[in-house]
Chains A and B, each alone.
Chain A
Amino acid sequence: MILLVCLAAIWLTGFGLVRWMFPRPLGWSLHSVLLLSLGIGAGAGIASCLYFLSLVAVGPNLAVMASVTGGAAIVALAFGLLNRREGTLLAWAEGPEPPWYLRGLFLLAIALAILTFLVAVSNNPHGDQGAWSIWNLRARFLFRAGAFWRDAFSNDLDWSHPDYPLLLPGLVALCWKLAGESTTAPIAIAFLFALATAGVLTGVLGVLRGKTQALVGGTLLLGTASFIALSAAEYSDVPLSFYFLATLALLCLQDRHPEDLRFSALAGLMAGFAAWTRNEGIIFLAAVIVARVAAALRFRDRSGLAPLAPQMLRLIAGLLLPLAVVVFFKLRIGGASDLWSQKAAVVLQRLADPGRWIMTAQGLVVVIFTLGRFLISIVPVLALYWYLVRFQVQDERDRTALATGVLALGLTLAIQLLMDILFVENLTVEIGTSFERDVLQLWPAGVFLFFLASGPLQLAAAEKPVPGKKTSKKALKPSRRAAETR
């Protein structure tokens, strides 16, 4: 019960913040679903940062932790609910209603994903080895060690990567501090991040492309068996994939609503939380900034680069707090990274070894063709889908966002692979254990970009004009404007 209250407080902190940024009257709508989904990630990031800062400032004091967590939820909710301003409305893009079977398939995908998750975690409540030997182990140290919480970053635990950022272990340790230690907390957090990822993907696709694309995209993500398995394994890859997706999706919304710079600020916050989740998040953060500038240069319109400066300023403002926490952690608290302790001569030797490049390329190809544990490789299936539906950017404003997304994901993957080539001693083991997870981190954002670029779907027969009945052109044509601003 206390755990539920604790998780609710974390969620409401995030929901309050995003509702303060995008206020609309309360009610069951796509807008609310999106805010609730984004709120999970925002709340998790804020709560984890506050936990870490409290721990550093006053140690593991229960009263302080409870006050900070509860206080943050109350303040954020007050800001979110008492805001009388009317912000940008995130509504379904106009278009034909999806057929009944598509809704049915989507609901079936949700049910199967939840069932698979629940059976997997009931069988393996501590998660897979990567989860308990890194993330849950760190959380145990933070929670159990009391005043000696810095032992979590001891060099004696170098095999457990004591330099990894603390979003996930911090969040689990906070829940344990407030509600007592159990395997339920990391399981609930894993579930919430998977739910939030599906919510953001479906919601933002709904805003930008309409219900049909949203349902197909959501079905594909929830039907990705290894994504659900990864979530149930309590790895940090799913939270990281949430932050990747949320950052890129918010930048797409920014391009649709250039007048509302809060999208960039929230995208910056999400990118910052990605860096607080895993080291790969730091790579993504840099990649997304480079990609944003490059895409704006390539697809600039008559106004040139003028709109980019205020957007980038908001983006940087959004990521400042989490990035400051990451920098402080890396410089003052976190253990030594095994990457930088390697000799330059060895690294250069690896760089010049063509065998390592070929092995990495081979590993990547195999992972891409077996990604997701689909019964048939998803690559030819998506190629067939593309052949039948075609790519067609529906709104010119999506071009910059699409280019930003593709470039950011490409750069992130390329840098990760380069790091593996340069710094990983046993590349065979790395390919076997990490490559699929590296690609799955990018999968939700990749699915989002795929369906954003996909052509309009026509699944129902167009209405025949009936004499005496006016057929709305709007109802048959997908609209250029996906969401309205009031």
Chain B
Amino acid sequence: MARHKFAVIALAAIALCSTFWALLDVLVNVSHNQIFGVASFENRFDEFRKTVRPHSVYGYVSDNAPNDPSARPEFYLTQYSLAPALVKSTADENLVIVNFHSTKPDYGLLRTNRLAPVQDFGNGVILCRRVQ
């Protein structure tokens, strides 16, 4: 009987302590603000989203460094925020969304990709047209 009692209490104690530990981890995460988290991305694209129509297609360019690990997640977040428009990770579209990490546009990047600004939605989000 004591063996069984020990087995059950040990198993339950480890499980409960682990969940409690996980709860503390989650509480620590709550206190960390994520500038480029989903909610903040949704806010950044809020104005742009109001102009989006279903079945529209946009290209996407950002000022992330080529090997920046956050580049892909940010592209995915842009697609998530702007659904039901389709966002393609290319500048070869008629309309291109440019995602800058500062409110001052990098005009060099726009020139390199042959993009002309159409509308600045603030927060580093600019809609551009591809110059032929």
Query: In the complex, A349→B84 CA distance in Å?
Result: 39
Which of B20-28, B111-119, B123-131 lies at the binding interface? B20-28
**Identity of the chain A residue whose Cβ is nearest the Cβ of B15 in the assembled complex:** A223
Q: A144-B84, A220-B11 are in contact. Are A129 and B18 (CB under 8 A)?
A: no
* Contact in complex: A457, B8 (CB < 8 Å): yes
* Contact in complex: B9, A375 (CB < 8 Å): no
* Contact in complex: B18, A225 (CB < 8 Å): yes
* Contact in complex: B22, A133 (CB < 8 Å): no
* Contact in complex: B18, A372 (CB < 8 Å): yes
**Identity of the chain A residue whose Cβ is nearest the Cβ of B84 in the assembled complex:** A145
* Contact in complex: A144, B83 (CB < 8 Å): yes
Q: List chain A residues, Cβ under 8 A from B13.
A: 105
* Contact in complex: A373, B18 (CB < 8 Å): yes
A384 at the A/B interface (Cβ < 8 Å)? Answer: yes
Q: Scoring B residues 1 to 44 as 1 if CB is less than 8 Å from chain A, else 0, what string do you get?
A: 10111111111111111111111001101100000011100100
Query: In the complex, A382→B15 CA distance in Å?
Result: 11
A283 at the A/B interface (Cβ < 8 Å)? Answer: no
Q: List chain B residues, Cβ under 8 A from A140.
A: 80, 83-84
Q: List chain A residues, Cβ under 8 A from B23.
A: 112, 115-116, 119
B107 at the A/B interface (Cβ < 8 Å)? Answer: no
Chain A nearest Cβ from B36, distance in angstroms: 12
B50 at the A/B interface (Cβ < 8 Å)? Answer: no
Query: In the complex, A372→B30 CA distance in Å?
Result: 21
B71 at the A/B interface (Cβ < 8 Å)? Answer: no
Residue among B6, B14, B29 facing the most chain A CB atoms (10 A cut-off): B14
Q: List chain B residues, Cβ under 8 A from A216.
A: 8, 11-12
Query: In the complex, A338→B22 CA distance in Å?
Result: 35
Instruction: Count chain B residues whose beta carbon lies closer than 8 angstroms to a beta carbon of A.
Output: 42
A37 at the A/B interface (Cβ < 8 Å)? Answer: no
Q: List chain B residues, Cβ under 8 A from A156.
A: 57, 86, 88
Query: Which of A136, A154, A220, A229 has a CB less than 8 Å from the CB of B22?
Result: A229
* Contact in complex: B84, A374 (CB < 8 Å): no
Q: List chain B residues, Cβ under 8 A from A109.
A: 12, 15-16, 19
* Contact in complex: A388, B57 (CB < 8 Å): no
Residues of chain B from 65 to 83 with CB closer than 8 A to chain A in the complex:
73, 76-77, 79-80, 83
Query: Which of A116, A154, A375, A457 has a CB less than 8 Å from the CB of B14?
Result: A375
Query: Which of A116, A151, A160, A458 has a CB less than 8 Å from the CB of B26?
Result: A116
* Contact in complex: B18, A223 (CB < 8 Å): yes
Q: List chain A residues, Cβ under 8 A from B22.
A: 116, 225-226, 228-229, 373
Q: A137-B80, A223-B19 are in contact. Are A385 and B7 (CB under 8 A)?
A: yes
**Identity of the chain B residue whose Cβ is nearest the Cβ of A460 in the assembled complex:** B1
B108 at the A/B interface (Cβ < 8 Å)? Answer: no
A381 at the A/B interface (Cβ < 8 Å)? Answer: yes
Residue among A102, A112, A457 facing the most chain B CB atoms (10 A cut-off): A112
Query: Which of A144, A228, A384 has a CB less than 8 Å from the CB of B7?
Result: A384
A376 at the A/B interface (Cβ < 8 Å)? Answer: yes
State the B residues within 8 Å of A (CB): 1, 3-23, 26-27, 29-30, 37-39, 42, 54-55, 57, 73, 76-77, 79-80, 83-84, 86, 88
13 contacts between A and B (CB under 8 A): A101-B9, A102-B8, A119-B30, A122-B30, A126-B42, A136-B80, A137-B83, A140-B83, A147-B54, A223-B19, A224-B19, A389-B3, A458-B1
State the A residues within 8 Å of B (CB): 101-102, 105, 108-109, 112-113, 115-116, 119-120, 122-126, 129, 132-133, 136-137, 140-141, 144-148, 151, 154, 156-157, 159-160, 216, 219-220, 222-226, 228-229, 372-376, 378, 381-382, 384-385, 388-389, 457-461
Instruction: Taking A220-B12, A373-B22, A458-B4 as given, write out 12 further A-B residue pairs in contact, using a Cβ cutoff of 8 Å, ordered by the A residue number.
Output: A105-B16, A109-B12, A123-B26, A124-B38, A129-B73, A132-B76, A146-B54, A160-B79, A229-B26, A375-B18, A459-B1, A460-B1
